Amino acid sequence: MSKTVIAAVDNTAAAGPVIDTALSIASIFGADVEAVHVREDGVTTVTALAKAAKVPLRLLEGPPAQTLIGALRDSPTLLGVLGIRRTAAGHHPIGHIVLDVVQHANRPVVAVPPQSGPRIPRPLRRLLVPLDGTAVAANAVDEMVQQLCECGVQVLALHVFDAERVPRFSDQPQHEVEVWEREFLARYCRQPGTRLHTRRGWASSAVLEVATAEHADMIALGWAQDLSPGKAAVVRDVLRKATVPVILLPLSEQPGIGTAIRPADVGTAGPGRSATSRLSSG
């Protein structure tokens, strides 16, 4: 059974970029695209859009968010694509349906920002992968990144040093940075040809800045699907301000196999701590 990319479309201008993005991703994975629409009012616009894009349209009934979440659960579904908000100048920076869906979907979701100008379908060539230096986050994006990389997508990794992730030591930057970056990639993003960018400051600002500067076509974020107050500030901020699609990848349930490259508190953990535990002598 071939995989399907679900494109959730509505009757607004946001639907066009959603279809385009779904087609772009599906072509990479060799997947089919199915447009789905939760009937709220008329279907003329979405029918025309699907027809123009030559993708089948499935009409669904029910509460929009729950219905889309249910559609994404279908076994052939690879991922879902939906709009972040209806218009570029929309009142709400992130639509409530997308917020609901991304928190509860059991598949990756690509959130697509609306475009203010005419539609310019962009092939997916460059993927920006922000990594916080934990195995958990790396594991969340690893499989998707690997598949995209194998399909010729260039991976740009990004690590942002903020107050939470500042290194303890940095001896001679002319050597240290290179060594540190090499090991960072070896641990957290082993795809050949990956370039690591580093920034200092607010993570979301850096993500958006690098995405623009490096002409990324999509941003991949691993996350815990929790938008409660105080959580996922980076995801929320990036969704609000991104000008390219953002793929949200749920964190893996499996425990991390490594430890953050930024060491934890002395005496509690660190990459070498487990390494030096002893067996009793013979």
Partner 1 sequence: MTVADRTFEAIIFDWDGTAVPDRAADAEPVRSRVEALSQAGVDVAVVSGTHVSNIDGQLRARPAGPGRLYLCLNRGSEVFAVDEQGPQLVWRRTATPEEDARLDRAAALTIARLAATGLMAVLVSQRLNRRKIDLIPEPEWADPPKARLAELLDAVTERLRSHNIPNLGAAVELARDAAREAGLDDARVTSDAKHVEIGLTDKSDSARWVLDDLWRRGIGPGLVLIAGDEFGSMGGVTGSDAWMLIPEASRSFAVSVGQEPEGVPPGVLHVSGGPAVFVALLDDQLSRRECKRVPAVDEDPAWTLAIDGEVPELERVHESLLTLADGNFGTRGSREEDGEASDPLVVAQGIYSNPTGGLPALLPAPSWSDLTIEMAQPVKQRRVLDLRTGVLLRESASAAGSLRTFRFSSLANPGVMGLRAEGPAETLDAKPDLAPLSIAANSGGIAAATWTTSRTLDSRSTVERLARYLANPHQLPTVEEVVHGSQGLRERGFDRILAAHRAAWASRWADAQISIEGDPEAQLAARFGLFHLMASVADIGEAAVGARGLSGLAYLGHVFWDAEVFVLPVLAATHPTAARAMLEYRIRRLPAAQAAAAASGLCGARFPWESAGDGTDVTPRSARNHDGLLVAIPTGEYEEHITADVAWAAWHYAQWSGDSQFLSGPGRSLIAETARYWTSRVRHDSSGSAHLDGVEGPDEYHVPVDDNAFTNVMARWNLRRAAELAMRDGQAAPGEEIASWRKIADALVDGYDPTTGRYEQFAGFFKLEPLVIADFAPPPVAADVLLGPGRVAGAQIIKQADVLMLHHLIPDEVAPGSLLPNLSFYGPRTAHGSSLSPAIQAGLLARAGQPDDALPLLRLALRIDLDDLTGSTAGGLHLATFGGVWQALAYGFLGLWPAANGLTIHPQLPGEWTALEMTVRFAGQRVSVRAEPDAVTICAGAPVPVCLGGGSAVEVGPAPVQFKRKADAWERVTP
* Site pattern 143..182 for partner 1 (x: CB under 8 A): ------------------x-x--xxxxxxxxxxxxxxx-x
Q: In whole angstroms, what is the distance from residue 191 CA to residue 148 CA?
A: 10
Cα distances (Å, whole numbers) of residue 58 to 62, 153, 167, 215, 277? 13, 30, 50, 34, 57
Q: Per CB under 8 A, which of residues 182..241 are in contact with partner 1?
A: 182-184, 186-187, 197-200
Write the DSSP symbol of residue 157.
Answer: E
Q: Can residue 280 be called a binding residue for partner 1 (CB under 8 A)?
A: yes
Q: In whole angstroms, what is the distance from residue 114 CA to residue 90 CA?
A: 9
Listed ranges 14-22, 44-52, 57-65, 273-281: which one lies at the site for partner 1 (CB under 8 A): 273-281
Q: Can residue 273 be called a binding residue for partner 1 (CB under 8 A)?
A: yes
Listed ranges 42-50, 61-69, 215-223, 261-269: which one lies at the site for partner 1 (CB under 8 A): 261-269
Q: Which residues pair with 223 in a beta bridge?
A: 250
CB 89 → partner 1: shortest distance, Å?
32
CB 204 → partner 1: shortest distance, Å?
16
Longest dimension (CA), the chain: 78
Q: What order do you get walking across the sheet with 218-223 strand by strand?
A: 57-60, 32-38, 4-8, 77-83, 109-112, 246-250, 218-223, 126-130, 154-161, 195-200
Identify which of residues 48 and 257 has a Cβ nearer to partner 1 in the complex: 257
Q: Residue 126, SS3?
A: strand
Identify which of residues 164 and 226 has a Cβ nearer to partner 1 in the complex: 164
CB 172 → partner 1: shortest distance, Å?
7
How many residues contact partner 1, by CB under 8 A?
49
Listed ranges 2-10, 41-49, 57-65, 258-266: which one lies at the site for partner 1 (CB under 8 A): 258-266
Q: In whole angstroms, what is the distance from residue 30 CA to residue 23 CA?
A: 10
Joined tokens for residue 257: 């196999």
**99 closest CA partner among 223, 7, 226:** 226
Identify which of residues 41 and 265 has a Cβ nearer to partner 1 in the complex: 265
State the residues that interact with partner 1 by CB under 8 A. Answer: 135, 161, 163, 166-180, 182-184, 186-187, 197-200, 257-259, 261-263, 266-267, 269-282
